[in-house]
Amino acid sequence: MLPAIEEPLVGGSSSTEESLVVTEVKKQLYLAGPLIAGCLLQNVVQMISVMFVGHLGELALSSASIATSFAGVTGFSLLSGMASSLDTLCGQAFGAKRYHLLGIYKQRAILVLTLVSVVVAVLWAYTGQILLLFGQDPEIAMGAGSYIRWMIPALFAYGLLQCHVRFLQTQNIVLPVMASAGVTALSHVLVCWLLVYRLGLGNKGAALANGISYLANVSILALYIRVSPSCRSTWTGLSKEAFRDILSFMKLAVPSALMVCLEWWSFELLVLLSGLLHNPKLEASVLSICLNTSSLAFMISLGLGAAISTRVSNELGAGRPEAARLATRVIMVLGLTAGLSLGLIMISVRNLWGYAYSNEKEVVEYIARMMPLLSVSIIFDNLQCVLSGIVRGCGLQKVGACINLSAYYLVGIPAALCFAFVYHLGGMGLWFGIICGIVVQMLLLLGITMRTNWDKEALKAKGRVFSSSGPLDMTT
């Protein structure tokens, strides 16, 4: 029989309610701060590699940029999405105090992600030929193919890294995640310099450096998990249980991956569509800058989303539905505040931001016109990201995947095509279309969140945890 759900506080004083809100805000900020920094620092690794390649020539830079984009679409987004299923599984198990399950879930995820990485690695081996089939310049295609082959070690290390980060994050252990990412980012500059210039490997060295740095990051976290007293009850060593119930894991991992990939792919599609516009070089450059800026701002909402998925999954696993409900209300306020703040910053620097990427007046002026649209998208993107975190915390990834499919591919992309090519609004039309998709996504996620039966979700969380427990757990 499942443990009873705790009753919500009834008739509490306003001071008590205020105290609960303040406590919840502190918990979420404690989680979100290091997670935001960790996300930023993890993403800096590939950026630094591309910067080093940029000094090797135009062909090397364009090849590395396309390879990095292809790797993100076909590999890193897939692994990140599948690993996010641990937000639900580990978070709810930790809340239910079934601590040993976290180690089993992590091993199971590592096993599945490693097998997926093998399949993706085969695809990456033929990247050059695939790009040629899509009409890419032969020199650039072959250069991208060579670069991504040297990134294959990074693929396997990245999957391991995502599993370790989620394992710690769901236990509210976030400072080591930030610290290891910081050490890795700083050392990555030295690693790139050694491989690219000292050993003379050129762009191949920059690609290989990604794998070395990701492996260093995951090694630090693995060592911490092995020796830290805080992980003593959640990591009890290798277990044969990791090979059991893989199908149930996949039922959550696949929609988790779709949630991430469907959104990620839609933004990458914007850059491809920009190449079909009048003056494609200008449009592609500006869209790439906008995506880069949006990705930078997205790290903040990603940290907030990770924080709320942890809070919701922990509280549901512990059988505290009212606490989970309070956490969702607090994060929506924090998400809106962060989005508005970032939006105002974008508008205030709109006339200067373009100079960070280009000295050409045409590009700078175009960026200035795009920034108000970018600020609007960032506001709604912050809201949808925290709402997506709530969905992951509840284990509703199938619903989230359906929402993302509808929002981006039934609304966002068609609207972008219409505004850009029918109404001839160019790159601004493409971005306005994707805003339509983000707004629909946010509204649908908000509707799901507002209609959530938290008592029912807490019971489902307990059922999920106990269905994964062994006979001993079921009798305790």
Token duo for residue 261: 């990939």
pLDDT of 8 > 70? The answer is no
Least confident of 65-74, 257-266, 382-391: 65-74
Residue-wise pLDDT tens digits, 354-382 = 887 777 888 889 989 999 999 999 999 99
> Of residues 278 and 265, which shows the higher confidence score?
265
Token duo for residue 449: 């969140």
pLDDT of 472 > 60? The answer is no
pLDDT of 7 > 70? The answer is no
Residue-wise pLDDT tens digits, 288-334 = 788 878 888 888 889 999 999 999 999 999 999 999 999 999 999 99
CB 225 within 8 A of CB 168: yes
pLDDT band at 469 (very low <50, low <70, confident <90, very high): low
Residue-wise pLDDT tens digits, 217-251 = 999 999 999 999 999 999 988 888 888 888 888 99
> What is the pLDDT averaged over residues 25-51?
88
Residue-wise pLDDT tens digits, 147-178 = 999 999 999 999 999 999 999 999 999 999 99
* Spans of all domains in the chain: 18-244, 255-476
pLDDT band at 269 (very low <50, low <70, confident <90, very high): confident
**CA 160 to chain CA centroid, nearest Å:** 15
pLDDT at 13: 59
pLDDT band at 11 (very low <50, low <70, confident <90, very high): very low
pLDDT at 242: 85
Specify burial of residue 336 (Cβ count, 10 A radius: 0-12, 13-18, 19+).
Answer: middle
Residue-wise pLDDT tens digits, 187-211 = 999 999 999 998 988 889 999 999 9
pLDDT at 226: 93
Token duo for residue 403: 């929402």
Least confident of 114-118, 236-240, 418-422: 236-240
CA separation (Å) from 94 to 67, 168, 253, 471? 38, 11, 19, 18
> What is the pLDDT averaged over residues 343-355?
91
Least confident of 128-142, 273-287, 366-380: 273-287
Dist CA 312 CA 255 (whole Å): 19
pLDDT at 312: 96
Least confident of 57-71, 73-87, 313-327, 343-357: 57-71
> What is the pLDDT averaged over residues 103-108?
95
pLDDT at 14: 65
Average pLDDT of the residues of the chain: 88
Residues in CB range of 227: below 8 A, 6 or more apart: none
CB 144 within 8 A of CB 128: yes
> Of residues 270 and 123, which shows the higher confidence score?
123
Q: What is the pTM of this model?
A: 0.88
> What is the pLDDT averaged over residues 70-86?
92
> What is the pLDDT averaged over residues 399-425?
94
pLDDT band at 133 (very low <50, low <70, confident <90, very high): confident
> What is the pLDDT averaged over residues 52-79?
83
pLDDT at 289: 81
CA separation (Å) from 75 to 268, 345, 369, 410? 14, 33, 33, 24
pLDDT at 361: 87
Residues in CB range of 20: below 8 A, 6 or more apart: 326
Dist CA 219 CA 151 (whole Å): 18
